[in-house]
Structures are given as C-alpha cells and as structure tokens.
Amino acid sequence: MDRKWSAKWITAADFLPLRPIDPLKGERAEHTAADAEGYTLQKNRHQIFRKVFSMPSRFGRVFAYVTADDFYRLYFNGSLAAMGPAPAYLFHYNYNVIDVTEYLHPGENLIAAEVSYEGYINRVVGSGDLRMGFLCELADAKRVYAATDGSWMTARLKCWRAVGYAGYETQMLDHLDASHYDSRWKSDRAYTNDLVPASVNLCDDHVLFRQLTPPVDFYLLRPQRQFFSPKGTLILDFGREITASLAVHICGEAGGFLRIRYSEELREDGCLYYPMRCIKNEYEDRIYLSGGEDVFEPMSYKAFRYAELRLEPAPELSAKRRLEEAAAGVLAVVRHHPLPEEACRFAADDLRLTRIFEICKNGVRCGTQEGYLDCPSREKGQYLGDAVLTSHTQFILTGDSRQFRKCIMDFAYSSSVCPGLLGVSPGNYEQHIADFVLLYPYMVENFIRLTGERDILGEVLPVIHGMLTWFAGHMRPDGLLCDLSEKWNLVDWPEGDRDGYDFELAQPTPPGCHNVINALWYGALSTYERLICLAPEYAHLAPPTESERVAEAFRKAFGGGEAGLFRDTEESRHTAFHSNIYPLFFGLANAAEKEAILAMIRRRGFCGSVFNAYFVMLSLCREGEIDLVCDMIRRDGDRSWARMLSDGATSCFEAWGKDAKWNTSLCHPWSSTPVAILAEYVAGIGFVNPAAGEYSVKPHLPQGIGQLHFTLKLPGGRITVDLRRDGQPRIRTTGKIRIV
C-alpha cells in the first residue's frame, strides 16, 4: 500500500457477506444466486455508485484516486473522465490518479461510477473471487472533497441480460433491455431510482499501488462508409481494425430490438464474415427497444472493422430507412494505451513497405490496452511471449517505457503464484508456458538496452534467480533440462509452423530432452549473467549453473546434424528450423555453426511462425543481412507481411495469412517486428546510452528502395532520418539527444 486513504471500499449489500476466494489456489465460487427475474447476481454484474458533493468557489488541481474490482467507468456531472484500472493481482492491485479539475465547478457536483464484475475465471482480469467493489477519493493539495463511504448511494443495473460470453469467456456479450435503463444516473443530481446506501467493506484485502501506466485513451470515431448487404442489413465500415465499443442512440418501437454483429472482414458476396475466424461463437450485441429514446453504452470492448445493424422485426418497406436513422446515432468509442500518431512515422517510396509499417503500427495500437494483449478479440490476455515482441515495437512507436516496465513487473508478481513464473499474467487464469518464461530475462535486458532504466534490476533479479532455480529442478547432471512436464513446451505457434520438429509437444509434455527448451535455457542463463554484471550488488544470487557449461552440453547433445546444423533431440537426425534459430539468436553457435545456420536461412527463408520471425530477423540484422531481412518482409509468398496485405490486412495477423490456422486472429501485435527492424537497422538508430540521451545513427537504405523517412520520439527528444539513394543521409535531432 503506497498511500494513506480516507476513502473506504464500498460494495453492494448482497456481496458484503460473501467469503472471498482465491481462484489461483483452485478455489471456485459456489455462489450462483439469482434474483426474482432470473438474473445471476455474481456474474455479469453492473453496479452504480454515486455521490453529490460540493466544491468551494475556488479550488486548485483536483485529482481522483480511484479503483474498482473488476473495472470502472468514472463520470463527473455526466462526462466520462476515465476507465480502469489495469488488471492486477490482489496483493499488488492498481489504482489510477486522474486530474479531474476540468470536470468540476463551484457548488454542487455529481460523481458517478459504473462498476462491472464479470465473475468468470479468464485471462483478462482477476475476477471470479467475489470481491466486487469500488474505492474513490477526490482531493487537491489541501483537502478531500469526496471519499467513498456509507453515504454513497448504489444500485444494481438490471438492464444487462446475462446471455454469455464471446471468445474464451473473455468478454461479455452486451444485451441491453432499454426499458430497464435510465441513463440519468450519471448526470442528474436528483436521480433516486432504486438507490440505496452503499455497504462499507471493512474487511477488504486489496493491497493498493499507483498504476504505472495512465488509463487508456478513448475517443469517438465515425464510420468511414455504410452500405446495405445483400441480406438487407446495414454495414458500417470504420476503415481499419479498431478496439472499441459502439455507442448507440436510437428511437424505435417497443418490443423490437436492434441486432449488432461485429467482424474483421467481409465475404466476397459483401456480407459480414460471421462468426469471426478467431471467435467461432457469438460476437453480437442487442438493444431491446423501450419505445422511447434509448442509449447503448457497453463497458466491454471488441476488436472489429465492420459492424452490422439489423432491426427485428421490421416491415420490409421501412427497414432500410429505419436502419439509416439508427446508424446516424452510432459512434465507436475507440480505446487503447496512449499511442500519439506523430511519435513514430515511417514512409518510403516503396508503398508496400510503408503499408506493412502501418498495419504493424495499428496492430500494436489495437493490442496494447491495459497490457500487451496477444489479441484483443479472443484471449485478451497478456502472454509473456507475445509481450516480449510487442514491448519492443510499442516502445519504438511511443518512446514511452511505462507499459514496458509494468509488463515486466506483472510477470514478476506472478512468482507469488509459481516461482517458475506464469505464461500469462495478471489475472485469475493460471497457464504455464516454458518457452515464454525462459524469454523473461531477455525481455528485461531489452528493456534496459532501449530505456537505460537500470533501477528495475533491484526488483526483478531476485525473481529471475528464483525462476532459474525452479527450472534447475529439471536439470540433468550435464546442465541440460529434461522432463519439463509441468509447463507447456511450445516451440512455436501455430502447430503447423514447427517445421517438423521431432519431439512430442502434447500437453502435458512427455518425458525427454529436446533442443529448443535448452537453447532458451542457455539464453536465460547467459542473459542473467550479463544482468548480474550490471548490478554487482546481486552477485551473490549466482545462477544454478554456468551458461558455458550448458553450451558445451548442448553442442554435445544436439550437434552433428546434416550440413553442420543442430538436431532436434539426441536421438533424432532431424534439423528443424527452430533448433537452429535460437542457438543463433542467443550466441550459442560457434563460427562454423553460425555460417551453417545463416546458409539455411538464405536457402529456406522463413520456416516458422510470425512469432519465430522476430528471432530470425534480429539474428540476420546483427550479422549484417539487412537487405535480406527487408526482402523477406516484403517479398511475395506464403511467409511474408506482403501476404497479410494481399489478404486485406489493416492490422498485422496472428499468422502469415487468414487461412494459416483455423482460428487466425486478424489483429495480433506479436507480428509487428518490422517496426523494430526499420527503426534500428534501416534508419540505423542505436541505443548507446539512453539514460544520458546518447544514440548512434548508422542508416542502411535497403536494395530496391530509393528514399525513406523515419521519425522516432524518445524520452529526451526526437531523431529524424531521411535517406536517398542519390544523396547523403540527413539526420536531425531535437531536445536533449546526442548522436555519438
């Protein structure tokens, strides 16, 4: 707890007597009580909290210190001020600090919040533990103007019908019974409908810390165009993939409803591709009309480009007119972590490469919410492997290290659940992925390389030491890992991109010793050794074995494959792409082995997933093969970003193409690696000593490109690089940036 609160946790009366549980210890709620109308009380719960308070004639900067379990929307005098908090573990729970001065005026004011509690165990939030509640304190430097206590009023919104979830039970489907909804609760100080005093929870056990990141940005977006489908439905096209909810104002006849379906693409016949490839279940909202003016403002967001409107029932002759009237009151409320458009810009005379940059940028925009999501549609979870890649490109695109740092700490806190860390964090869903966890030290090292913020080492080095010690429990006498069945051995995803890797990767993983996990084991150990050198005061936290000992055992166990390549297992002669990429990336390969691996890549191109391509491309660039990498990014073929463009991408995909797997997500920021390549190896911006504002610039104009422009915002200023085939590079800086 990092501040002293005047406010108290408040909740609804029916939640107060419930015993909270810990889903991460296998506990599950048995409470499935329902009200007289059949609504489940502890699932899909929406609760409002309100307080009328007075402000003096003069006041300073006023801040709201606010949090909720699971999630809040905060209003002042009817205006939406913020949404949050970011998901977190109970023992290190987030609160937001928001400047709300602009929303206040002298005299009476109204503060109101809508709190949602999902009640399901999923990858998104720490829900399903019976801890629904709200905490808020409004203060300036001199006094507290309002703080949650028993004088606040509350009511359960009975307008949201419990109809189930989309994805992997990660987002509520929003069916609004408008006859039970009165939007005046957030703006009318005289509103009293169903309000009762809130219950103070004196036994609440959230341990609060200020959130490292700001609340998500939100803004309104109108459709770029609308048209009728062959089925007579009205389709709204927002022009690109977005993460948003739809705000709808509609008048219609009581007894009817407006059906809203969402998708990322259209079929050839002009109809919606529904259900979406990656959802494979309902992705539909409904507004059951009251007969008056109805307002639809769901809290959960979806990932989509198109929204389809259909009124039911509707007389055939008037249906189109009524749909057009309904569409006039539709706006998308787009939301994501702040990503200023001007912070990072790229343009080249190669239109394909420019478009690839833009779909990668939009993928990161959509997929960086309160955390680095693997996708904002299906799982909505912060997976460690995805985050290793997305954090790199998101920092390049923003120059903002806060989300990067928060992600590192989210996984550090997962050590309280398992010393070997979780593969997805935070949340009450427990998933173990060995490959992802072994990349954690690299993520920390990359954070320090890009930001210069070494202070994080004091918090994470003990965590990494504990993680390595956990894995060492599966170490053979020669230092290699084997029989790692407690955590999923992934190798690559999707399964079809494993290049015939010759080891059974079922869950749980069968006994045995194989290449990729041990190459990652070497990478984790060697990276940890370098991190310890940056913080000698932690030298006593020695790794469980030396990386060079593992390198020697690795070469003995897996070396000797065809053409000098590494083999998948000790028994197999197969030399999968993946068995050689990680030894190259982590510097495990000697000179002869390195040349054999490079020759393989030149001959075969990408033979793994978009995720694996990150390690391939960075390895090649380090070896000076920048032209080859740029060619691999934009060439025609089944494994390039150009294929995503040919499939109509407006954000980067989960896999190389729409049909590369049965449920391909069409928005997946782990495939945004070209952003990092263009910044660090084409524009050639090197992070020499970011803490001191020192950078280098060694640009490389790829073959086939005549000119390009790259602008990068950094904490101390901005670097702009302009390259022309027929001229000298032009390098400009602003602020406290020094080129060395």
Calpha distance 43→609 (Å, rounded): 37
Nearest to 502 by CA among 580, 567, 597: 567
Name the DSSP class of 564: G
Q: Are 534 and 527 in contact (CB under 8 A)?
A: no
Q: Are 152 and 13 in contact (CB under 8 A)?
A: no
Nearest to 698 by CA among 624, 634, 618: 624
For residue 442, what are its two tokens?
A: 């690299």
The fold adopted by the segment(s) 401-604 is: Glycosyltransferase (1.50.10)
Query: For the chain, what are the domain ranges?
Result: 10-215, 218-336, 401-604
Pick left, alpha or beta for residue 414 (phi over 0 → left; psi -120 to 50 → alpha; otherwise beta).
Answer: alpha
pLDDT tens-digit map of 432-464: 999 999 999 999 999 999 999 999 999 999 999
Tell me what pLDDT residue 364 has: 98
Pick left, alpha or beta for residue 44 (phi over 0 → left; psi -120 to 50 → alpha; otherwise beta).
Answer: left
pLDDT tens-digit map of 275-289: 999 998 889 999 999
Q: Are 423 and 433 in contact (CB under 8 A)?
A: yes
SS3 422: coil
Nearest to 87 by CA among 170, 31, 14: 170
Calpha distance 357→702 (Å, rounded): 15
Amino acid (1-letter code) at residue 474: H
CATH of the domain spanning 10-215: 2.60.120.260
Match domain 218-336 to its CATH number in 2.40.30.130, 3.40.50.2000, 1.10.3720.10, 2.60.120.260: 2.60.120.260
- 458's CB contacts (< 8 A; 6+ apart) are 535, 538
Calpha distance 443→437 (Å, rounded): 10
Are both 10-215 and 218-336 of the same fold? yes
Listed as ranges, residues in the chain with pLDDT below 50 are 317
- 266's CB contacts (< 8 A; 6+ apart) are 235, 272, 273, 306
Q: Are 45 and 117 in contact (CB under 8 A)?
A: yes
Tell me what pLDDT residue 1 has: 77
Q: Are strands 208-210 and 93-99 parallel, antiparallel or unpaired?
A: parallel
Pick left, alpha or beta for residue 102 (phi over 0 → left; psi -120 to 50 → alpha; otherwise beta).
Answer: alpha
Tell me what pLDDT residue 313 has: 82
**R_g of the chain computed on alpha carbons:** 27
Strand partners for 570: none
Alpha carbon distances (Å) from 420 to 412, 471, 575, 604 = 10, 7, 29, 35
CA atoms within 13 A on the CB side of 409: 22
Calpha distance 429→395 (Å, rounded): 27
Pick left, alpha or beta for residue 125 (phi over 0 → left; psi -120 to 50 → alpha; otherwise beta).
Answer: beta
Tell me what pLDDT residue 137 has: 98
Q: Are 120 and 165 in contact (CB under 8 A)?
A: yes
pLDDT tens-digit map of 484-505: 999 999 999 999 999 999 999 9
* Secondary structure E strands in 34-77: 45-55, 63-69, 71-76
Calpha distance 425→40 (Å, rounded): 28
Nearest to 243 by CA among 140, 125, 333: 333
